[in-house]
Amino acid sequence: MAEYRILKTEGRAKRAEFKTVHGTVQTPLFMNVGTVGAIKGAVSTQDLEEIGCQVELSNTYHLHVRTGDKVIRELGGLHTFMDWHRPILTDSGGFQVFSLAGLRKIKEEGVTFHSHIDGRLIFMGPEESMQIQSNLGSTIAMAFDECPPSKAERAYVKDSIDRTARWLVRCRDEMKRLNGLEGTVNPQQLLFGINQGAIYDDLRIEHAKVIRELDLDGYAVGGLAVGESHEEMYHVLEEVVPYLPKDRPTYLMGVGTPANILESVERGVDFFDCVYPSRNGRHGHVYTKHGKLNLMNARFEKDMRPIEEGCQCPACRRYSRAYIHHLHKAKEMLGLRLCVLHNLYFYNHMMEEIRDALDAGTFAEYKKATLAGFEAGEDA
């Protein structure tokens, strides 16, 4: 069991630290997404250290189908493979199975699907997901769940959360068994459960009450940011977070914009992850305290300012908007890399500011001022 210690609260917002076998992290935090064990945009683990990343997130499904978790285990696990020695969280593979992979069949045992790489048939259930994540040796493994669409029918969602709850027991038991085996990469691997229930408050709460009984290392809220409105998402958080254990970290999966994060910290969330900063960076869209800029825009052709004045990221310390605009127009990879580095730094740095504000008891003011800055735009 990891140690989660709340240092300060402000309303429902929590400032905490979380001690793991790969070091202690400060929450609230943003996990930087490295799908196949590398951040898209030519960003290395050395870069992650330099831009203040605390937890790297890798995708179980992708690593399973390419190179393979058994090979990675043989090579010493994912930490050794990537040369990253801070915490890693791996997802369960479930989300990719339901969104990427072809021709799925969901049964009580698990899911059968086709690899998106070579089409071969793969079976994955709770045990298989735990075995793969154990081979990778991540710090935190995520439970194998079904993530129904947020607009799914109530009856379907009810069946789905019941199955996800049964799967969670199997995940916990299998993780316990794997952690006890000789030669396990990380015998202190942690398990986070995932709350589902789409946008049905009562199903969310019912499911939370069931899964919290399993006394896991942390709990995630899953199945949000998949089509519902921001208001619906905030509402679900308001309803369900009070039913998750306060003495464990709460992880909101796949969220989101800087504004989403501020609103969700206020509602008690500790952990976040999202592909926005890297995906947007690859398209030349960069985050600033005055909102998002599209560096492809012709108005940046002669703009010799950094993306953001005072920013200490590797892009802003040396390069101008004009140069990065030129790189994107010329389709030079360096343009993508600089924007991704800036965006990840922006997210990590904003989390640091959030933690400082919580420490100082000024989160409410910080949130208000930061959202106002985003709204006002650059000409304010």
Check if the beta carbon of residue 171 is closer than 8 Å to that of residue 143.
Answer: yes
* Cβ proximity of 33 and 248 under 8 Å: no
Instruction: Based on the shown chain and the rule CB under 8 A, indicate whether residue 346 belongs to the binding site for its own copies.
Output: no
Closest by Cα among 228, 244, 237 to 262: 237
CB-nearer residue toward its own copies: 44 or 112: 44
Binding mask 184-223 for its own copies (x = CB under 8 A): ----------------------------------------
- Beta carbon of residue 329, minimum distance to its own copies (angstroms, whole number): 6
**Is residue 105 near its own copies by the rule CB under 8 A?**
no
Q: Does 81 bind its own copies (CB under 8 A)?
A: yes
Q: In terms of CB distance, is 318 or 368 closer to its own copies?
A: 318
Angle at 59 between CA 229 and CA 333, to 5 degrees: 85
Stretch of 25-33, 69-77, 91-99, 248-256 lying at the interface with its own copies (CB under 8 A): 69-77
Q: Tell me whether residue 118 is one of the annotated catalytic residues.
A: no
Rounded CA separation 177/179 (Å) = 6
- 91 belongs to the catalytic site: yes
From 8, 163, 212, 329, residue interacting with its own copies (rule: CB under 8 A): 329
The span from the CA of 157 to the CA of 204, in Å, is 10
* 263 vs 267: CA distance, rounded Å: 7
Cα–Cα distance measured from residue 108 to residue 166, given in angstroms and rounded to the nearest whole number: 9
Q: Give the Cα separation of 356 and 129 in Å (integer).
A: 37
Instruction: Kindly report the length of the chain.
Output: 380
Note whether 44 binds its own copies by CB under 8 A: yes
HEC string for 146-199: CCCCCCCCHHHHHHHHHHHHHHHHHHHHHHHHHHHCCCCCCCCCEEEEEECCCC
User: Closest CB to its own copies among 105 and 317?
Assistant: 317
Per CB under 8 A, does 244 bind its own copies?
no
Helices 201-212, 154-180: axis angle to 10 degrees equals 20
Q: Rule CB under 8 A: choose which of 149, 187, 245, 314 binds its own copies.
A: 314
Q: How far is CA 308 from CA 30, 79, 213, 256, 319, in A?
A: 20, 33, 46, 21, 11
Is position 336 an interface residue for its own copies (rule: CB under 8 A)?
yes
Q: How far is the CB of 62 from its own copies (least distance, A)?
A: 8
CB of residue 333 to its own copies, shortest distance in Å: 4
46 lies in the site for its own copies, by CB under 8 A: yes
Which residue in the set 9, 17, 26, 40 belongs to the binding site for its own copies (CB under 8 A)?
A: 40
The site for its own copies (CB under 8 A) is made up of 36-46, 62, 66-67, 71, 74-76, 81-83, 301-302, 304, 314, 318-320, 322-323, 326-327, 329-330, 332-338
Q: What residues are labeled active site?
A: 91, 273
